[in-house]
Structure 1
Amino acid sequence: MDKQKKIEVTGDIQKMMEDSSALYLINFSGMTVEEVEDLRGAFFKEEIKYRVVKNTLALRALRESAKFASFAEGLEEFLKGPTGIVFAGDDPVKPAKILKAKTEKSDKPKFKAAVIEGQLYGSDKLETLSKLLSKNEIIGAICGSLNSPVSGIVGSINAVIRDLASIIEEVAKKKNAA
C-alpha cells in the first residue's frame, strides 16, 4: 500500500471513529467466509460499521482521533494479529449484544477490547457489556417510570369521580323514595 493510500485509509478510519459512540476490537482469525458475512450482515442490519484494517493504520487513526486519542496506548496491546474494528452507531451496547450472540454459537470472533463512554474494557468484559441496557431499553424504562405516576393520578381522579357519581345516585334514590 502506497503512502497516499495509507493516509486515505487512516483518514477514513478516523472519520468513522469520530462518528461512533463506541469502538470494539475483535479477532476474526479462524472464521469462515460464511461466518464473517453473517457477522457483517448482523452489524449492517443494526447500522453498525465494521472494518478490517492494518493494525498500524488503526493505531495511527486512534492517535489522531479527537474522540479516542487518549485510549491509543491502552488499545495498542490489543492491536496485534488479525483485528476488526467495530464502530458503534447511536447505541454503544448493540455491538456487544451481537458479539455475545455470535460467540455463544462458536468461540469466534474473539472479543479483544472496547471503548465505551470514556471507559476501556478488556476481553473479559463482553458478558458484562452485553447485559447492559440498550439506548431504546433505557428510554422505554424512563418513559414507563414517568408514565407510572400519571397513571396513578388518572386512576385516583377516576376513583373520586366514580365515588362522587355513586353518592349522587344514592342521594337521588333517597329523594325519590321519600
Structure 2
Amino acid sequence: MSKEIIAKKAAVVDGIKDQFDNAVSAVVMNYRGLTVDEVTALRKELRDAGVKMEVIKNTYLRRAADLSGYKGLDELFTGPTAIAFSQEDVAAPARIVKKYAKQFDALELKGGFIEGKVATLEQLDELAGLPDREGMLSMLLSVLQAPIRNVAYAVKAVAEKGDESAA
C-alpha cells in the first residue's frame, strides 16, 4: 500500500478518534433491514437532537476506539454498523435509537459508551428511559414549586377558616 493511501486512512481514523473524544455518549447499532425511508427518518430525528449518525468501516471504528481508550467496543464492530455520536445530550442517542428499535424490528442496538465508559445494553436502556432536557427541567420546576404551592394552600385554608369564624 502506498504511503499516500496510508496517510489518508490515518487521517480518517484521526477524524473518527476526535468524534470519540468529543462525544459525551454514543450508541452502536445494526441497521441492516431498514428501508431508505426508515434510515432517513432516524437520521433526521437524531440530527434534530444534535446527534451525528455515521456508517463507518469497522476497521476504522476499531482503531479509533482503541486510540480513544474504548477497548470494550471492538466486539460491537462487526457486520453492518452505524454509530451515533452526541456531544451535548447524553441520553439522546440511546433514547432515539431505542424508540426506533421498538418501531422497526430490523434496527438492533449493539452497545455504546456513556461519558467515557463502555456501557452495557442494560445501562443504555436505563439511559433511554430518561426524559429529555425539557422534561427534566419541567420535573425540576415542579419539585421547586411544590413547597411554595403547599404554603399557598395552607395560607388560603387559614384565611378561609378565619372568614368562617368571623361570619
1:77 and 2:75 correspond: yes
What is the alpha-carbon distance in structure 2 between the residues aligned to residue 124 and residue 163 of structure 1? 53
TM-score, length of structure 1 as denominator length:
0.75
SS at match of 2:76: coil
* Residues 1:90 and 2:88 are matched in the alignment: yes
**Alignment map for 1:66-145 (pairs within 5 Å):** 69=69, 72-123=70-121, 127-145=125-143
Consecutive unaligned residues in structure 1, runs of 5 or more: 174-178
Cα deviation for residue 131 of structure 1 reads 2.0
Q: Confirm whether residue 45 of structure 1 aligns to residue 48 of structure 2.
A: yes
Tell me if the contact between 2:24 and 2:116 (Cα under 8 Å) persists in the aligned partners. no
1:102 and 1:108 in contact (8 A); partners too: no
State the distance in 2 between where 1:18 and 1:158 align: 55
Structure 2 distance, partners of 1:153, 1:141, is: 19
Answer with 1 or 2: which has the greater Rg. 1
CA distance in 2, matches of 1:92, 1:99: 13
1:146 to 138, 144, 147: 144
Cα drift, residue 14 of structure 1? 2.1
Partner Cα distance (2:67, 2:124) in 1 = 27
Which whole-Å CA distance do the structure 2 matches of 1:101 and 1:86 have between them? 14
The Cα shift of 1:87 comes to 0.5
Relative to structure 1, the CA distance from residue 27 to residue 101 in structure 2 (aligned partners, 3 Å threshold; closer, same or farther) is same
For residue 132 of structure 1, report the CA deviation from its aligned partner: 2.8
Q: How does 1:1-12 map onto structure 2 within 5 Å?
A: 2-12=5-15
Instruction: Tell me, in whole angstroms, the C-alpha distance in 2 between the residues paired with 1:124 and 1:31.
Output: 24
> What is residue 176 of structure 1 aligned with on the other side?
none
Instruction: Compute the TM-score of the two structures, normalised by the length of structure 2.
Output: 0.80
Q: Is the Cα contact below 8 Å between 1:23 and 1:114 reproduced in 2?
A: yes
CA displacement at 1:49 relative to structure 2: 0.4
Q: Which of 35, 59, 64 in structure 2 is aligned with 1:61?
A: 64
Task: Please report how far the alpha carbon of residue 79 of structure 1 lies from its aligned counterpart in structure 2 after TM superposition.
Answer: 0.9
> Aligned partners of 2:42, 2:64: CA distance in 1, in Å?
24
Paired residues, what number? 164
**CA distance 1:107–1:123, shift in 2 (3 Å):** farther
Identity within the alignment, % = 27
